[in-house]
Amino acid sequence: MRLSKKSILLGVLLALLLVGGGVVWRVGFHNGGLNRDFDPSLLAASETRMWQAYYTRNHTDLAMEMAALLREQMGVSLWTAREIIEPMARGAMIFAGDREGRREAEVLSELETAYARLGEAAGEDWDPRAAARAELAWWVARRTPGQDSPEQVGALIAALYALLYGGSNAEVQQAGVLRARAAALRDAGGPNADWPAVERLLKASYAALRRGVER
């Protein structure tokens, strides 16, 4: 009988649990809650590698870096990260092939599932539908002429942050714009983007976000 990837992952984690005890439990299965004291350098490095993996179509590395982002920023376990990444990835794939916006409801459904799981794991009571709409809003803006400047996209990213962290301020707004600038620089260069510069912008973005959400 052929085992599913989910069964294999569970088996590996259980085996590691027998060997590694509590450490493996915390990493593999324990959700620690929303982390407001995240490491900007770690997040920037992971997101940069994730974007590089996207261009090389290395789906394994892309998923691993996304899981690292979720663990550091949202405090979720590896197991929960997988449960969040699956619908998020499906939504992104549908969106990528839907240039005319005819499948927006499908994208929203997948994103809502992801944010519902994330909110439950992080111990937050945000509205998953509102978070899904906020996520999709900046995706749409980035590929819509006249709405795609870093300032416009950054404001939408900051709106998502405000939903997730329960408020906004100048630092959160700056974080959104800096992340949008990093994305624009990435898009301009594609696989040959100035990756060190992209990472510096992302680090500055996450540093601003941490200052904003610590208040």
> What is the sign of the dihedral through the CA atoms of 73, 76, 78 and 79?
negative
End-to-end CA distance of the chain: 54
Alpha-carbon distance of 2 to 6, in angstroms, equals 12
Contact 27, 78 (CB under 8 A): yes
The answer to whether residue 1 scores a pLDDT higher than 60 is no
> Phi and psi at residue 120, in whole multiples of 5°?
-65, -45
Query: Which residues, at least 6 apart from 169, have a Cβ–Cβ distance to it below 8 Å?
Result: 212, 215
User: DSSP class of residue 16?
Assistant: H
Counted residue by residue, the chain has a size of: 215
| Helix pair 78-96, 5-20: axis angle to 10 deg | 150
Please state the pTM of the whole predicted model.
Answer: 0.83
Average pLDDT, the chain: 85
Could you read off the pLDDT of 68-99 as tens digits, one per residue? 888 899 888 888 888 998 998 888 889 888 88
Work out the burial of residue 189: count CB atoms within 10 Å of its CB; fewer than 13 is exposed, 13-18 middle, 19 or more buried: middle
Amino acid 215: pLDDT? 62
Contact 156, 141 (CB under 8 A): yes
For the chain, percent of residues with pLDDT exceeding 70: 85
Alpha-carbon distance of 81 to 135, in angstroms, equals 17
